Amino acid sequence: MKTITSLTLILFLSFTQLFAQSSSEIIQAFKISYALEKSGSYKKAADELKKVYSNESYEINLRLGWLEYNAGLFDESASNYQKALNLKPFSEEAKFGLIYPKYAQGKWAEVISLYKKILKINPANTTANYRLGLIYFGKKDYTTAVNYFEKVVNLYPFGYDGLLMLAWSDYYLGKTKQAKVLFEKVLMNSPADKSATDGLKLLK
């Protein structure tokens, strides 16, 4: 019994020492990758992390996704972001990360789907609501755009971006009174704003 206990202790200490050594190597790899990223060497920064890569590491896959995106390696970036997302399915940061390469590749259906998945878990996420609003505004689907911009404005009633885009959406929908009020609120936030000033001129 004493021998078994001693053996267990030895194995535990060996595992702890190995884990500590591994963690130290990973932290060092992250440190080097940050320095390389700062100098614009994104691929080299990614290569440093690949030296300590683990398929089960959310953090490494997430950072590789970012570095590879900046290096223009969009397929590789999407793959690593997806691995991170598979490890942490509720992660907003992994979904937002995955949007970067999908957007760069013009995969709009997937981009929209990812934003909607974020909102399914967190309906009050202002970034996802605002960006979805922008997408539908770009498609000239102002009715749908309004739904997303209104959520942003309800959460940030004096926020410049939400107010401006909701004002323009209302303008294109012919809701002139609402648009006027919103453009004026934008000017309270940013008195010299050209977009809001132009909007009010069109309403005269």
Q: What is the radius of gyration, based on Cα positions, of the chain? A: 24
Q: Which helix (H) or strand (E) holds 176?
A: helix 176-189
Q: Determine the Cα–Cα distance for residues 64 and 84; give it in Å rounded to an integer.
A: 10
- DSSP structural state of residue 190: S
Q: Are 67 and 37 in contact (CB under 8 A)?
A: yes
Q: What angle do CA 93, 96, 101 make, to 5 degrees?
A: 130
**In the prediction, which pLDDT does 11 show?**
43
179 Cβ contact list (under 8 Å, min separation 6): 167, 168, 170, 171, 199, 203
Phi, psi angle pair for 159, to nearest 5°: -80, 130
**In the prediction, which pLDDT does 6 show?**
55
**In the prediction, which pLDDT does 22 show?**
79
- Buried/exposed code over 25-61 (b: 16+ C-beta within 10 A; e: otherwise): ebeebbebbeebbeeebbebbbbbbeebeeeebbebb
Residues of the chain with confidence (pLDDT) below 50: 1-3, 9-11, 13-21
pTM comes to 0.86
**In the prediction, which pLDDT does 8 show?**
53
**In the prediction, which pLDDT does 23 show?**
86
